[in-house]
Amino acid sequence: MSTSEEKTKEVSANADSDSGGAIILFFIIGFVASLIAGWIIFPKLLYCQKKQPIDFNHVLHMEEVDDGCESCHFFREDGTYAGVPKLEQCVGCHEEAVGEDPEEVKFVNEYVAKEREVPWLIYSKQPDCVFFSHAAHVKTAGMDCVTCHGPIGESTSLKVYEENWITGYSRDIWGQNMSGLKEHAWDRMKMDDCAECHVKNNVKQTSVQTKKGACFVCHK
């Protein structure tokens, strides 16, 4: 009996260590798989890659204009910000193609000739519930464009626009880094990033319009 009992124990001990190994192994498989899914697959699935309708060379244009970014991205007379230029501004120079770049030819033929606005995809577009005034930041606070938008003026072509399937906004709002860490001020454009700067610079913590604080500074 005793031998058979010992045998049984041994078998069960073997089985235990066997099953223990399997448990750890499966834990690790599950753990690693979900980390891969969360860090690599999920971001790929969350964003769809879109190409801008026309590739645009900022460097080339910066050489031509006198007034830097504001030459095309200007403030209107009433103080509102024009954002991405409309066809109206482009035709000033591009009534006809001025160079031989196929992108420019495409722009002239597809949009200028047909008087169609270019459906630019806007990397920095914020949800409609956010109130943001360029005038307050640029004109009043004297900030430069790079602080929030990065060195776009130094780019020779437009990067891929990564559109969030759920929200429809660009990946540039959350930032390339999925963990939310940033190296430069322009890496992210989330609420916390606005708040961080407002706190650091001791900006008046109430809304100009409503005189209310906290959320109401940006969410009117």
Partner 1 sequence: MKIDRRSFLSFIIGGAAGTALSPLPAKLTDDLSIWTQNWPWTPVPEDGEAIYADSVCTLCPGGCGISVRKIDDRAIKIEGMKGHPVNDGGICILGLSGLQLLYGPTRVKTPLKKTSNGGWKKISWDEAIAEVAENLGKLRSEGQPQALACISGSDQGTVPQLFRRFMTAYGSPNYMCVPSSQDSYSITLKLMQGAQASAGFDIENADFVLSLGSGIIEGWGSPVCMFKANSACEAKKGKVVQIEPRLSNTAAKADQWIPINPGTEGDLALGLAHLIIKDDLYDKDFVGNNTFGFDDWTDDKGKSCQGFRQFVLENYGPEKVAETTGIDADTLTSLAKSFASASNPVAICGRGQGKRPGSIHEFIAVHALNALKGSINRKGGVWAVPEPNYISWAEPETDAVAQKGLQTPRIDGAGTEKYPYTKSLLNRFAEVVGSEGESPVKMLFVSGANPCFTLPDTGAVKAAFENIPLVVSFSSYMDETAKAADLILPNHVFLERYEDVPPPAGVNKNVIGLSKPVVDPQFDTKHAGDAIISVAKALKGSVGSAFAWDSYEACLQETMGDKWDSLNEKGFVVPDTAPACEKTYTTPSGKFEFFAAGYEQVTIEGDEKWYPLILMPYDSMRLSSGFIGNPPFMTKTVEDTVLKGNDIVVEVNPLTVRESSALFVKDGDYAILSTPKGKATVRVHLSEGIMPGIVAMPTGLGHTAYDEYLAGKGTNFNELIGPVEDPASGLDAAWGIRAKLANIAS
176 binds partner 1 (CB under 8 A): no
Residue with structure tokens 């630019």? 120
Name the residue nearer to partner 1 (CB basis): 63 or 88: 88
Name the residue nearer to partner 1 (CB basis): 106 or 134: 134
- List the interface residues with partner 1, window 101-130 (CB under 8 A): 127-129
Cβ atoms 81, 140 nearer than 8 A: no
Strands of 86-206 (E only): list them.
Answer: 161-164
91 binds partner 1 (CB under 8 A): no
3 binds partner 1 (CB under 8 A): no
With H, G, I as helix, E, B as strand and everything else as coil, classify residue 161.
Answer: strand
Q: CA-CA distance, 176 to 174, in Å (whole number)?
A: 7
Name the residue nearer to partner 1 (CB basis): 114 or 204: 114
Residue 154 CB, nearest approach to partner 1 (Å): 27
With H, G, I as helix, E, B as strand and everything else as coil, classify residue 160.
Answer: coil
Q: Which of 3, 4, 179, 201 binds partner 1 (CB under 8 A)?
A: 179
Residue with structure tokens 């009534």? 95
Cβ atoms 52, 120 nearer than 8 A: yes
Distances (CA, A) of 19 to 12, 14, 33, 120: 10, 8, 20, 58
Q: CA-CA distance, 181 to 123, in Å (whole number)?
A: 19
Residue with structure tokens 């460097």? 59
23 binds partner 1 (CB under 8 A): yes
169 binds partner 1 (CB under 8 A): yes
Q: Which of 8, 39, 160, 199 binds partner 1 (CB under 8 A)?
A: 39
Query: Segment near partner 1 (CB under 8 A), from 5-13, 27-35, 104-112, 151-159?
Result: 27-35
136 binds partner 1 (CB under 8 A): no
Q: Which residues bind partner 1 (CB under 8 A)?
A: 15, 18-19, 21-35, 37-39, 42-43, 46, 76, 78, 80, 82-83, 86, 127-129, 164, 166-169, 174, 178-180
